[in-house]
Amino acid sequence: MTHNVSSTNHSLSALDAQSGKLRWSYSTGDYISSSPTVANGVVYVGSYDDYLYAIDIQSGNLFWRYHTGGRIFSSPAVTNGVVYIGSDDGTLSALDAQSGKLLWHYSGLSMRSSPVIANGMVYIGSADNKIYAFHLPSSAE
């Protein structure tokens, strides 16, 4: 079954791609401005309530949520079992996609852009008009 996933206000919704019928809806604690990212049957989305959510694409049930310490404007990037997210607290976080456990983070930048993964690196733009690049572990791409 194919799903279309979209967000409006505080809710993330999954629609059946054939009929347009609502499959499920999940409400976060505040406004959602990031685009959802889908990987391996999980929908990842950030919210202004400072949380990144991991939601089962089939059922709409919450797997986990991670508190970042700042609103999330950016969309998550996912590769090889790791979710990367920038938040308004100036932190780029790398989380285990299965558990939501923090693997590493980098603080001190105003990160509102979405991270991009390419060539063994994760790139993210900052409000200081610079792009920062971080090496991924050798098994991450």
Q: What range defines the domain where residue 127 resides?
A: 3-135
- Kindly report the pTM of this predicted structure: 0.88
Please spell the DSSP secondary structure of 11-68, one letter per residue.
Answer: EEEEEETTT--EEEEEE-SS---SPPEEETTEEEEE-TTSEEEEEETTT--EEEEEE-
User: How many CB atoms are closer than 10 A to CB 35?
Assistant: 14
Q: Determine the average pLDDT of the residues in 119-128.
A: 88
- Report the candidate in 80, 78, 90 with the shortest Cα–Cα distance to residue 128: 90
140 domain residue, yes or no = no
Q: What is the pLDDT of residues 13-46, one digit of tens each?
A: 898 889 999 999 999 989 998 899 999 999 999 9
Confidence check: pLDDT of 141 > 50: no
What CATH code is carried by the domain that includes residue 77? 2.130.10.10
141 domain residue, yes or no = no
| Residues 55, 22, 8, 17, CA torsion sign | positive
Q: Determine the average pLDDT of the residues in 98-104.
A: 96
89 vs 73: CA distance, rounded Å: 11
pLDDT of residue 97: 97
Task: Domain count for the chain, please give it.
Answer: 1
